[in-house]
């Protein structure tokens, strides 16, 4: 799952997120393996619509770190400014990061599920961000895991009017109420 589409947006927000990254404890040891990111979205380009998204990559940029700025600006992906990145660099990872390579982040639990990101760095520039673990098996982007997906009727909670306390439905008229399940419940609750 390539996140290219999302990267530019992601980098922009990465700048912001990195502030948090910096202040937080650093996972990055000399071996630079811990790139990762917190962040929910990642997701990549995620789907259309929405916008925002982003986040995910964060970690990515962090990694880039050392080379920092370079990463951000160059951003092969295009656009995105994200100055912030540079700063993070200071913290940095080991020399290996500077040289480049592929780094896998640790898995992070988010409200959308478990997320892990792999970042590829070449000459200090993030060239690719890949989501390794996504919430659903189909490897769809994570951000939209809260989206509405096709569901079989057998997959929803089965219910009978005897087991519920109220009934939701498209607005019924006063007349339609008389023959409605809600009317039966109300009568039973007298």
Partner 1 sequence: MQPTSKPNEPGQANKEPRLRSRTFTSMGTVVSLAVPAAPGTVPQAAVEELEAATAVVERLFNGLERTFSLYRPDSEASAMARGELALADASADMRRLYVEAAEWRTVTEGAFTAERPDGVVDLAGIVKGHAIREAGTSLLALGLKDWCLNAGGDVLVDGSPTPGSARPWLAGIVDPEDRTTLLTAFPLDNKGKHALATSGTSERGHHIWSTGLKIARDEGFRQVSVAAADIITADVLATAIMAGGARTLALATSHWDVDVLAVKNDGGLLATPGFRNLAPQNS
Q: Which residues bind partner 1 (CB under 8 A)?
A: 47-50, 52, 143-153, 155-174, 176-177, 179-183, 185-186, 189-190
Measured distance CA(185)–CA(42) in Å, rounded:
45
When the beta carbons of 137 and 165 are compared against partner 1, the nearer one is 165
Least distance (Å) from partner 1 to the CB of residue 84?
25
Angle ∠(84,13,145) on CA atoms, nearest 5: 150
Least distance (Å) from partner 1 to the CB of residue 13?
15
Q: Is 185 exposed, middle or buried (0-12, 13-18, 19+ CB in 10 A)?
A: middle
Beta-strand pair 125-133/100-104: unpaired
Least distance (Å) from partner 1 to the CB of residue 153?
6
When the beta carbons of 25 and 155 are compared against partner 1, the nearer one is 155
When the beta carbons of 25 and 153 are compared against partner 1, the nearer one is 153
Contact 98, 67 (CB under 8 A): yes
When the beta carbons of 1 and 167 are compared against partner 1, the nearer one is 167
Least distance (Å) from partner 1 to the CB of residue 168?
5
Least distance (Å) from partner 1 to the CB of residue 136?
10
When the beta carbons of 47 and 120 are compared against partner 1, the nearer one is 47
Nearest to 1 by CA among 135, 100, 134: 134
Q: Which two tokens stand for residue 33?
A: 């393996």
Least distance (Å) from partner 1 to the CB of residue 151?
4
When the beta carbons of 25 and 188 are compared against partner 1, the nearer one is 188
Q: Which two tokens stand for residue 86?
A: 């540079």
Contact 43, 82 (CB under 8 A): no
- Ramachandran bin of 124, using left for φ above 0, alpha for ψ from -120 to 50, beta for the remaining angles: left
């Amino acid at each position: 799952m390539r996140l290219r589409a999302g990267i530019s947006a992601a980098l922009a927000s990465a700048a912001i997120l990195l502030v948090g990254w910096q202040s937080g404890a650093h996972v990055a040891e000399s071996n630079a393996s811990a790139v990762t990111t917190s962040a929910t979205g990642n997701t990549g380009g995620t789907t259309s619509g929405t916008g925002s998204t982003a986040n995910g990559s964060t970690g990515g940029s962090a990694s880039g770190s050392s080379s920092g700025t370079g990463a951000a600006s160059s951003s092969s992906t295009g656009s995105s400014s994200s100055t912030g990145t540079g700063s993070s660099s200071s913290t940095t990872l080991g020399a290996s990061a500077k040289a480049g390579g592929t780094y896998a982040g640790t898995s992070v639990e988010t409200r959308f599920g478990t997320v892990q990101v792999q970042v590829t760095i070449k000459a200090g520039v993030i060239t690719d961000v890949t989501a390794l673990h996504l919430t659903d098996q189909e490897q769809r982007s994570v951000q939209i895991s809260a989206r509405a997906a096709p569901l079989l009727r057998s997959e929803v909670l089965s219910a009978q009017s005897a087991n519920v306390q109220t009934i939701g439905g498209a607005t019924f008229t006063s007349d339609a109420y008389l023959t409605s399940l809600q009317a039966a419940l109300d009568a039973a609750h007298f």
